[in-house]
């Protein structure tokens, strides 16, 4: 890990009614899965949300009256950042595992897909961010490899109760043009490095290094309203837009 705190944007992905069993008691409230990202400018390309099936999550009350779903560790960090109700303490409203919120519909900001679903990603780390990850397969090789696995492998979908319609209609969206890698940089890099699955960690690592470096320093936005602007120059603007629309919060760890 680097020196000093890392700043993430937490993207609020709104859980749709009817709520799954473990969240039933919160019916009628504004409940969000909050996904930690370093790349708010890629939110135009979200296709789904990743949770880890056997990871423990909590639903906690925020001082806004909203409910956030994340790891207990992230909730504690949020309490230090004065985001909680109840004199700063963590108030747990529900405890659950990833599988309890698998395959549920969400509304996510900026993406062209009106509904996205939670899907399983097995290599989410507990000790980073919120344990909830938003998926942008156009620009993140891990996201592309995992979404492709789900599309190709019926057994993988079945194991976690994922229906075809939660996966099949969702394709990577061209949002950023990257020199040498085109407008679906993660797809190109996964092809170039011959990544065959989400578990192909060495090849994925090479693809990621290339995509992230070139994407961040040389990427140019294709999205309407930001066309031709450099990724570096719009990152903060888009983060602020999301925060001002109450669709994201800034979080450090
Ligand atoms: B990023 P860093 Cl398009 N476990 O968001 C595994 N990965 C996690 C995680 C966890 N607990 N929490 C967050 N992440 C992912 C978008 C994105 C991201 C794009 C391109 C690059 C990229 C869409 N997924 O990250 O170790 C999230 O994926 C490049 C590293 O703290 C988050 O941002 O640097 C990033 O990893 C944070 O990883």
Cα dist from 136 to 40, 131, 176, 230, whole Å = 11, 16, 11, 18
| Residue in 4, 5, 98, 128 to alter for ligand 1 test, most ligand atoms within 8 A of Cβ | 128
Nearest to 15 by CA among 123, 94, 129, 75: 94
Nearest to 108 by CA among 136, 146, 148, 137: 136
16 bridge partner residues? none
Residue nearest atom 26 in ligand 1 by C-alpha distance: 128
Can you tell me which atom of ligand 1 is nearest the CA of 37? Answer: 33
Distance CA 84, CA 32 (A): 14
What number of residues does the chain have? 253
Quote the pTM value. Answer: 0.98
With a 6 Å cutoff on the Cβ, whether 252 touches ligand 1 is: no
Ramachandran angles phi, psi of 124, nearest 5°? -75, 135
With a 6 Å cutoff on the Cβ, whether 111 touches ligand 1 is: no
| Residue in 1, 33, 37, 57 to alter for ligand 1 test, most ligand atoms within 8 A of Cβ | 37
Inter-residue contact 208 to 216 (CB < 8 Å)? no
Question: Separation of 133 CA from ligand 1 center, angstroms?
Answer: 7
What tens-digit pLDDT sequence spans the chain (253 residues)? 567 889 999 999 999 999 999 999 999 999 999 999 999 999 999 999 999 999 999 999 999 999 999 999 999 999 999 999 877 899 999 999 999 999 999 999 999 999 999 999 999 999 999 999 999 999 999 999 999 999 999 999 999 999 999 999 999 999 999 999 999 999 999 999 999 999 999 999 999 999 999 998 999 999 999 999 999 999 999 999 999 999 999 999 9
């Amino acid at each position: 890990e680097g020196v000093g705190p890392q700043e993430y944007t937490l993207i609020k992905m709104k859980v749709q009614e009817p709520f799954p069993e473990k969240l039933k008691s919160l019916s009628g409230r504004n409940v969000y899965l909050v996904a930690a990202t370093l790349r708010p400018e890629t939110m135009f390309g979200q296709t789904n949300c990743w949770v880890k099936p056997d990871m423990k999550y909590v639903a906690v009350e925020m001082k806004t009256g909203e409910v956030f779903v994340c790891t207990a560790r992230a909730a504690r960090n949020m309490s230090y950042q004065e985001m909680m109700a109840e004199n700063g303490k963590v108030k747990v409203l529900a405890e659950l595992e990833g599988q309890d919120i698998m395959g549920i519909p969400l509304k996510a900001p900026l993406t062209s897909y009106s509904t996205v679903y939670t899907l399983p990603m097995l290599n989410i780390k507990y000790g980073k961010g919120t344990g909830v990850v938003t998926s942008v397969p156009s620009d993140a090789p891990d996201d592309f490899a995992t979404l492709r696995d789900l599309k190709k492998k019926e057994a993988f979908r079945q194991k976690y109760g994922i229906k075809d319609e939660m996966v099949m209609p969702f394709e990577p969206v061209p949002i950023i043009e990257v020199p040498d890698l085109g407008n679906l940089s993660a797809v190109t890099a996964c092809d170039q490095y011959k990544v065959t699955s989400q578990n192909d960690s060495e090849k994925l690592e090479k693809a990621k290094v290339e995509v992230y470096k070139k994407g961040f320093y040389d990427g140019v936005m294709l999205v309407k309203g930001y066309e031709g602007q450099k990724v570096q120059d719009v990152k903060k603007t888009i983060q602020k837009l999301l925060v001002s629309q109450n669709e994201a919060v800034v979080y450090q760890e």
